[in-house]
Homo-oligomer: A and B are copies of this chain.
């Protein structure tokens, strides 16, 4: 898993989503763990560090949950033998990239906890901003914690509320009203599947159905991957409860402000998903169209950085009537990048992963589109490769605004010093990456991109939808 030569990590020049969640209550029983496994494979882009599945049987005793968690990809952690031991009709799963708590198997999710009413399991996408304060309060009344993830704080708070609440949903509602931050949760109690979305709707969660099974998932691409129909998005602030009698809803609070994470549309979500009514594929193509209007270029060919830049590149090309083409071949067998000390070796690693289609590029003026620039190192390599292959000029277009502020809601952002846009002007960046011109999507276009959906744009403009702490909160519980 952790090899000094090959490395599991995705490119360190990308922002990273932290998690994906999936839950199912199948009234007909059936291969629940296998279904969750397929759902997690469809959500794997949301987290590649660890994953886990917990299942139970609603007709069994209150504490009959079995689970398996591990470090690595779903296809590495779950073999058929393991899946065959996870039997039940109610279960949840999780894929994780660590933004809170370090990467150990102990911090993997779902959490499986025993409390007064039996076993509850919980999987969490998002990040709390008041986790440390909540944990301190709980500890001062005798709580002990096994992990360093904020999700355990949520679980413990629910257990506390359950002592006086009449139902588990009520306990979840009371606990949620104390949480500050971003969260999409899937929870099981002995006889229920529960989904929760924070009042701002920062993180996505949707409901699907397959015959007599109800499903919750971070994105609807996970629904189609298991042959389920999309029913609807969970509303911001909504608590959905699935029991054997069907689906019911309640709400955390009457808060009106919504703030959906813009980066889901720009980069995180899968191209074939639709979140809160916006089709990702269309949003990204539209971003390309807006980008063409705002920063046109006189060029022979428009190409996208694989895979993330392709849809915006197609939109950009169409809007300006310039041919779209493929200029890079991507070797899918690399998978894990080489870690080597020197900068020259890092360039080499890009060359192993991507190579230029020289005959396409030679003598051409090229527009190269990507969704974002974080450190700028990969982009500099790509431009240098295109020029070596004979490109006359390379105009870089980015389908999002410059990334300037840290995220407190679950997106892993390098420290500010490493964000190229936070310390350099557009002109400087253009020179540093060796481009002939550089254009960003104007922040105003984001609304057009998502059809007017209310967005959290804090990473671009610093306006956080709620108060945020001053210090870095990553690993604050360790």
Contact = CB atoms under 8 A, between A and B. Distances in A.
A319 to B, nearest CB: 13
A355 B225 contact: yes
A326 B311 contact: yes
A295 interface: no
A98 B331 CA distance: 22
Contact of A75 (B146, B160, B335): B335
Interface stretch (A181-189, A236-244, A356-364, A456-464): A356-364
Interface stretch (A38-46, A367-375, A410-418): A38-46
A221 interface: yes
Contact of A159 (B3, B48, B142): B142
A402 to B, nearest CB: 27
A252 B41 CA distance: 52
Nearest to A160: B142
B142 A331 contact: no
Interface string A68-100: 000001110011110100000000000000000
Interface in A375-406: none
A299 interface: no
Interface in A215-271: 221, 224-225, 227, 270-271
B115 A144 contact: yes
A162 B141 CA distance: 10
B115 A139 contact: yes
B146 A143 contact: no
A159 B138 CA distance: 11
A239 to B, nearest CB: 20
Give the number of times this chain occurs in the complex, counting copies.
4
A358 B230 CA distance: 13
A42 B332 CA distance: 10
Given A311-B326, A333-B44, A155 B144 contact: yes
Nearest to A37: B5
Contacts of A63: 148, 478
A329 B227 contact: no
Contacts of A272: 329, 355-358
Contacts of A297: none
A300 interface: no
A113 interface: yes
Interface size class for chain A? 35 or more
A237 B73 CA distance: 46
A163 to B, nearest CB: 5
A308 interface: no
B6 A352 contact: no
Nearest to A162: B142
A334 B221 CA distance: 14
A95 to B, nearest CB: 9
A231 to B, nearest CB: 16
Contacts of A325: 314
Given A79-B5, A146-B113, A334-B75, A41 B359 contact: no
Interface string A30-56: 000000001001101100100000000
Interface in A265-312: 270-272, 279, 281-282, 310-311
Contacts of A333: 41, 44-45, 48, 73-75
Contacts of A348: 38, 227
Contacts of A74: 333
A400 B111 CA distance: 46
B5 A80 contact: yes
B139 A359 contact: no
Contacts of A466: none
Contacts of A478: 63
A4 interface: yes
Nearest to A111: B146
A334 B310 CA distance: 21
A246 B356 CA distance: 30
A174 to B, nearest CB: 12
Contacts of A225: 331, 351-352, 355
A114 interface: yes
A148 B80 contact: no
Given A112-B146, A279-B359, 8 more contacts: A3-B80, A44-B331, A114-B148, A115-B142, A143-B143, A144-B159, A227-B351, A318-B323
Nearest 4 interchain pairs by C-beta: A5-B80, A44-B333, A116-B139, A142-B160
